Structure 1
Amino acid sequence: MLYKLVHIQFDMYEAWFDDFKIFMSKLCAPIQVLRIKYHIGSDYLEADEWEHLIKMRLPYLRTFDYEYHEDYVTAYEDNHFHTKINRFTSSFWIKHQWFFEFGINMDEEILVCSIHPYSDSSHDEHQLFINTLKPTFLAVQFTRLKIDCKHIPIGIFIKIMHLFPHLDSLEVLSLPNIQPDWVFDNYVDMHQFATPIDNKIVNVNLNKIIYIEQVHFFLYLCPSIEYFQVNIPKHMDLKMLLRFILTQANTYNFYFRFLCLGITNVSEDMLQQLQKMIDSEQLLSSYMIKRIGNYICLKWN
């Protein structure tokens, strides 16, 4: 397997789509970026075939740029052509934010179709901010970061984290939006939106979470975590969350030893229910759990 091959680009002329699919099926590599420019041959405009290929052979794909040139401008008048391109508006393409467009170059008499990732001005502004301050971030060895991610896309947050390799403490005021199927989808791996960061973060404080997937994300992001403080919303199932965190800790986060859960109107009954669950499911063998103000604190060996 070609583990380091993540970006591939083709400029093809009269190559059949079936041959291309065979080639991709034999190319065992974690491709994340695929760019294709193709001249002549509308068999590449098969949305269902592309969807199947990406699901089965390109599960890590994040960026898909495709450009197709047709010398016969009158092709756009064909109803069959419009039926084909309309299939690129299914939920699969919308979910990945890959959008289809076509145009006509009357000077060169060429019909151009393309599939490309969606981008907006706010993303460009965030990227400009990162590029401007990157030299400062890398020159100073920051060890603590307090950040509000409410209006920061998850991809930009990952890029920001890469700029702080010396962090040992991270406090997040508002979390980036992480959709459940980004983490737990059958064919979309966590690697689609986050690669492991070689960091030294041992203390993590999440001031406000909405989904359990956000907890999953930060446990994945910080493999060296030792202390984890999370404020829990009222609607969240406390038992399910604790079970998930301890399972993750036992499987991936081997240094994780201290958990502090912030809960509104915490009670002794909650404490006893959690303790009973830990014992009955044998989630921990040696631990201490107690209530401190509005927090339930759990420490284990």
Structure 2
Amino acid sequence: MLGVGKKHGCAAQEIMNANPRVQLWKMQTGDTFYVPAGNKCTFNQLTIILLHAPRLSHLHCVNIIESKDHSKSELMIKLHSLTHLTMTLYNLEFDDFEEFLLKLCSPLQLFDAKIKSRDRSYLNADRWERFISQNMTSLIRFTFRYSDIIDDEFELTFYHSLINRFTSSFSIDRKWFFKLFIEENELIYSIRQYQETWIDFQEYLHINQNTKNNINDSLNPYFPVVELSIIRTCLTENDEPLINKINFIFNMIKVTYLDIECDQMTVSMLITILHSLINLNSITLSNSALCQQMDLSIRDKIIFNAFLNTNKISKITLQNVTENDQIESIFKYFPRIHFLDYNV
């Protein structure tokens, strides 16, 4: 049932009467609002609620949708205590989201936005930088996730050419790490706080034996800039045209770290992806075909040999690799290895 504190009950009830599917839950600790995933809410409805919650500090809304009523509220929401904002948006344009954020007048410190929308302007990194610099001056942690559907209709746009700006000094200085996911049929663009790995730490110690700089120092030339993670995706030769489409993105943002957790990927597809990542220097393999005896076609042998002759991979993490001959295969393919992390 609906759980609402007395201070916010009136506003919540009005919205409930207008739309029974919208429920507002009041968490038991602190002034936190949480709109559950099974309930939909528009910005106009949320604005009415927030006007009655001036001391709100944490706001979680996981199903914000486009309003059928295109009229927009002109009310300003002065939430001077709001420091944590988490939102998931569906089919909303960046202009509408930006307008809502401007109304908050809040000293946000943590901002988490997950977006599923056809509006590719969310990928305009320069626009995000301007907005944050001018309107979120207290922001410390920024988490961003935008999903692109990879299908036959997928096409690159002008905004895709701007995503390399997510790796600018503005982001690196704040330890905001850009990452790409290929997950099932989605290409996901993500920003999260940087977390060093074991290999990063070992290399840092090797390079900086005589210094005491912080490991997260953005001046460290081994700070990993862009990661590509391929998860639960059954990629076959039939998907090669799609990979060729997004190959432009791989090269433009200079993917340096690859994490593959996909034992169903064909050898040919894996070789195609490796060959396309010309800036790769680190890789994590889990149950990978590279750890097994490979029966390659002539075409794949040519591509794979070209990759082996030019690759710069020096840091490897192995997951679920147990046989000695599997490890020997990795050393044969990647003779430049300096750092190896081995997890069974």
Which is bigger in relative contact order (C-alpha 8 A, separation at least 6)?
1
User: Is TM > 0.5 for Structure 1 vs Structure 2?
Assistant: no
Which TM-score applies when normalising by structure 1? 0.38
